């Protein structure tokens, strides 16, 4: 199991390019199962989760082809197996996204109950009840969701009990080939949901309302192939901006989208960052000043994203003042706090809130990553700490960040990967 070794105390400076969004690419890959035509997907990030999804398609008899520009062409006409095995699903919750497309296109699906990051309950029952409302017969047995439908799925009026990104995506994909109109209320508004909708529309789907909390899908008889480029990753963008702010640095991130990062950029400005934006770039300059503590509360888009909470905890740990961070989306998302406190951070957990008092300095220590975004926060803590920090179990980070040590090296960080 690889580790990252970080020598802290270096200001990040320079320019980097942002990769395609993992949370957009995964549902778009699943959407290729909705057509027998070839679909070409561009700007896919090079991540473990993407490899897992491509392997999952391979298990089904679909063989994606990668060209010299690293675009992926998927031809689902060769599908032979309508099941997603536990061996792959256990490593990545997004595997559940093949359920809707398989059911809509092939009338049957068997998907293992998912695994992924251990950050609290993310119930799949919302996916199941929505698909049942569309006429699917579903049983959960032997650790698998076994779904079938006699003819086509039927359009339905679906109200999501809680805002769920993958739930919205699964139902939206299934509804594209359903008979009649489907209305999803209390739908997720995340940019990644919009990106999936735009890809489905490029494939011939009839969708409106994406980006609002009510999405309307009129089912069509079939979808066709297309070429689609995945949007930039807003969480990767935010992570590097926070890392630069924490180290009092100055960076420019390119091939990104400032318009979907307003909540994060606002908090960075409150922390003292001088931020400028263009159509596809963001620059941040701390003018070598210590960041100020910020307080925030996570909530579904367009509010502050839960996937940026741990990184701001790291920023607050060396900021001037005290900040509170309240987590409302997942109930088990403070596992990084114990590791940061071992580095000298002054963080207290009170229910679903952490109170962070800025410390004079953090000290390098061996720490262990517990989930994807927590591992990013530990890297940020290591960048600002004095001495050497060793981050173990970094397979989490490879699930969501493309070449993180190379990009940080481009910004001047002293970071390297070693096999354990």
Active site residues per annotation? 117
201 contacts: CB under 8 Å, gap ≥ 6: 207
How far the first Cα of the chain sits from its last, in Å, is 5
232 within 8 A of 18, measured Cβ to Cβ: yes
CA distance 400 to 396: 7
164 within 8 A of 190, measured Cβ to Cβ: no
336 within 8 A of 379, measured Cβ to Cβ: no
CA distance 4 to 84: 32
Work out the burial of residue 288: count CB atoms within 10 Å of its CB; fewer than 13 is exposed, 13-18 middle, 19 or more buried: exposed
Which of 101, 94, 112, 113 has the alpha carbon at shortest distance from 74? 101
CA 379 distance to own-chain centroid: 18
132 within 8 A of 138, measured Cβ to Cβ: yes
Alpha-carbon distances, residue 108 vs 100, 179, 210 (angstroms): 9, 16, 27
CA 283 distance to own-chain centroid: 22
């Amino acid at each position: 199991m690889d580790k990252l070794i970080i020598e802290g105390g270096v200001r990040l400076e320079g320019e980097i390019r942002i990769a395609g969004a993992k949370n957009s690419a995964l549902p778009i890959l699943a959407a290729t199962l909705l057509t027998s035509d070839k679909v070409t997907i561009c700007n896919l990030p090079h991540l473990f989760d993407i490899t897992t999804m491509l392997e999952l398609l391979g298990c089904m008899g679909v063989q994606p082809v990668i060209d010299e520009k690293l675009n992926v062409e998927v031809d689902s006409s060769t599908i032979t197996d309508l099941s997603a095995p536990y061996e792959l699903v256990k490593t990545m919750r997004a595997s559940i996204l093949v359920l809707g497309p398989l059911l809509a296109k092939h009338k049957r699906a068997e998907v293992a109950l998912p695994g992924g990051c251990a950050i609290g309950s993310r119930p799949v029952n919302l996916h199941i009840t929505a698909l049942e409302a569309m006429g699917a017969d579903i049983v959960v047995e032997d650790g698998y969701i076994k779904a079938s439908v006699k003819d086509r799925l039927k359009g339905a009026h679906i109200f999501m009990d809680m805002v769920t990104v993958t739930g919205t995506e699964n139902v939206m994909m299934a509804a594209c080939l359903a008979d009649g109109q489907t209305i999803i209320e209390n739908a997720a508004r995340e940019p990644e949901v919009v990106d999936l909708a735009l890809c489905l529309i490029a494939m011939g789907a009839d969708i409106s309302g994406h980006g609002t909390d009510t999405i309307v899908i009129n089912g069509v008889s079939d979808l066709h192939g297309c070429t689609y480029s995945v949007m930039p990753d807003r969480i990767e963008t935010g992570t590097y901006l926070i890392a630069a702010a924490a180290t009092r640095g100055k960076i420019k991130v390119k091939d990104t989208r400032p318009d979907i990062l307003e909540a994060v950029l606002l908090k960075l400005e409150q922390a003292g960052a001088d931020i400028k934006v263009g159509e596809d770039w963001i620059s941040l300059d701390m003018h070598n000043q210590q960041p100020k503590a910020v307080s925030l509360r996570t909530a579904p888009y367009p509010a502050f994203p839960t996937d940026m909470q741990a990184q701001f905890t790291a920023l607050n740990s060396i900021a001037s003042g005290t900040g509170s961070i309240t987590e409302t989306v997942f109930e088990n998302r403070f596992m990084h706090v114990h590791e940061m406190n071992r580095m000298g951070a002054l963080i207290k957990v009170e229910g679903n809130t952490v109170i962070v008092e800025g410390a004079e300095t953090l000290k390098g220590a061996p720490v262990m990553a517990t989930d994807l975004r927590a591992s990013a926060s530990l890297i940020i803590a290591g960048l600002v700490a004095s001495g050497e920090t060793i981050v173990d179990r970094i397979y989490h980070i490879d699930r969501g960040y493309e070449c993180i040590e190379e990009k940080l090296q481009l910004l001047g960080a002293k970071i390297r990967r070693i096999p354990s």
